[in-house]
Amino acid sequence: MVAGNWKMNTTIPDGVALARAVLERCGAEGTVDVAVLPPFVHLWPVREVLAASSILLGAQDVFWEEGGAYTGEISPPMLAGWCDLVLVGHSERRHLFGETDAQTAHKFAAARRHGLMVILAVGETETERDEGRTVPVVDRQLEAVLAEIDAPPPADEWVIAYEPVWAIGTGRTASPAQAEEVCAHIRAAVSARAGESPRVLYGGSVTADNAAELFSRAGIDGGLIGGASLKPELFADIVAAAALAALAR
């Protein structure tokens, strides 16, 4: 899977144009699941652009309640039937807005109750990596979600994205070996708990230049793409790198 997280970028007309450009370049891809995650206000016009394609549409976040006095929030039933998937636990939600592991777990469980595929993002800060705490941090984030639900979803109904916080939007990328090591740990940890692991993506300054090397690693099943997802030609190059890696396995 290659998922493009547009974050808080583009106007609605710009977003529709971007979706059309992604569709033109990636709409025929059959080896890799391609997803775009535009801002909330873009979801309905972008859905119209992608409606007849295999490109998945996702939301960048979701709230855990189904309705009520939660000004500004978007609930799972508002997205179900419109979106294919949602992203929860992105580092910007955790570190800019103070979202806790428990809140991320609530969001994951709520989204699953409404049949949405979920991309769960996990990852450590620079300080946590320098202190040798990458594995405990990732394990804590995973365990919060697994403890919240009765049973893990089928492996094809959720995705884990490992995104080291120190590599997001900084231009600094985890080396392929570093990324593979953590992704392999995630796969083993979830398999031990759930019997099988979903796909594990890498996110953190993935570019058209480094995608092929990252995706060639056995433990990495694609990418959660930030800045490069706003440039359709670069995003298409990343999707092509993922397709070649998939065919080589």
Q: Is 106 in the active site?
A: no
Confirm or deny that 231 is annotated as ligand binding: no
**Residue 5 annotated in ligand binding:** yes
Task: Dump strand ranges (E) for the chain.
Answer: 2-5, 34-37, 56-59, 85-88, 117-122, 158-162, 199-202, 223-225
How many residues would you count in the chain?
A: 249
Query: In 3D, which of 4, 62, 76 has the Cα closest to residue 33?
Result: 4
* 3-class DSSP state of 59: strand
191 marked as part of a ligand binding site: no
- Residue found by looking up tokens 């804590």 in the block: 140
163 is catalytic: yes
Catalytic position from the list 29, 42, 90, 180: 90
List the alpha helices (DSSP H) in 27-124.
43-50, 76-79, 91-96, 101-113
Catalytic site residue from 92, 124, 128, 163: 163
**DSSP state, residue 115:** T
Binding residues: 5-7, 169, 205, 226-227
Q: Which residues are catalytic?
A: 90, 163
Binding annotation for substrate? 5-7, 169, 205, 226-227
